[in-house]
Amino acid sequence: MKPLELIEPLPDQPKPETQAVQEAKPTSAPRPRPVGRDINPGRRLRGIQAAAERTNPPKKPSRSWLNFQREKVAPAYWNVTSSLSLIVNAILIAVVLLMSREIFSLKRMLVRDLLGGLAYNFSLMDQARIKADVPVNLEVPLNFQIPINMAMDVTITRDTPIDNAPVKIFAGIITIDGPADIIIPAGTVLPIQLNVTVPYQQTLKYSTSVAVDIPLVDTSLHTPFVNLQEVVSPFFWAFAGSPFYWEDIAICKPLRAVCTWWFK
């Protein structure tokens, strides 16, 4: 028995009109397919660029003296400023650490002694009194006239002669009335009428001591003292609630040895 032979099927025969149309169409030649390194378009583009640069190499931009100096100065400037910044920061940190050891002493000095002392003394000044003995020394010039008009008895201190004095003497049956020279003996009391104006010019000196007791709360100084208390008191009470000694800090109670070494 002969083996079966595979018989390729015959292609369908085109219709007459279809075959004529296909023969009338122009047949285009197939494009060659790139092989090898020309397969990647990016490589081809880079190759074209490299060839163009080899043909016309780009000119290097000219470097001026100013650009050259700027390139040298800028890194040096940043290096110097960075070094200075590190040094200053290190110094500030050291100062802060050293001041932290004296922070409680500074707080006692500024808050308790300075602010507290100011607030307390301003309140005392508002309650104070001015007590003093004021010496008074005066010189009063006096210049006036004193009128005197009065009847008085005058005692003669010595014998006083009076010439041609009108004298009337009644001696019994004899009466003498005429001028005569007489002598009034000392000790004689004579009634007279004094009517005279006496000028007085004198400087009166007066010295005394006057006791003074003035409460400042009743003076115009009361308002400034109250205002000063209101300025200082808020700063004092803002810091008065925090500890004044390191022993009062809560963290130093379990770490007493470390706090003692640092703050002493």
What is the mean pLDDT of the segment spanning 205-223? 88
Query: What pLDDT does 15 receive?
Result: 46
CA 84 to CA 139: how far, in whole Å?
77
Pair 239, 107: CB distance under 8 Å: yes
Query: Domain-by-domain residue ranges, the chain?
Result: 89-128+218-263
Q: 54-97: per-residue pLDDT in tens?
A: 666 555 555 555 555 666 677 777 888 889 999 999 999 988 87
Does pLDDT of 234 surpass 80?
A: yes
pLDDT of residue 87: 94
Question: What percentage of the chain carries pLDDT values higher than 70?
Answer: 75
* Euclidean distance between CA atoms 119 and 243, whole angstroms: 19
pTM of the model: 0.36
Q: Judge whether residue 160 has pLDDT over 50.
A: yes
For the residues 199-218, what does the mean pLDDT come to?
Answer: 88
| pLDDT value of residue 64 | 52
The tens digit of pLDDT for each residue in 2-59 reads: 444 433 444 444 444 444 444 444 444 445 555 454 456 667 777 777 776 666 655 5
Evaluate the CA torsion angle 219, 224, 230, 236 in order and state its sign.
negative
User: How much is the pLDDT for 217?
Assistant: 86
Q: What one-letter code names the amino acid at 258?
A: V
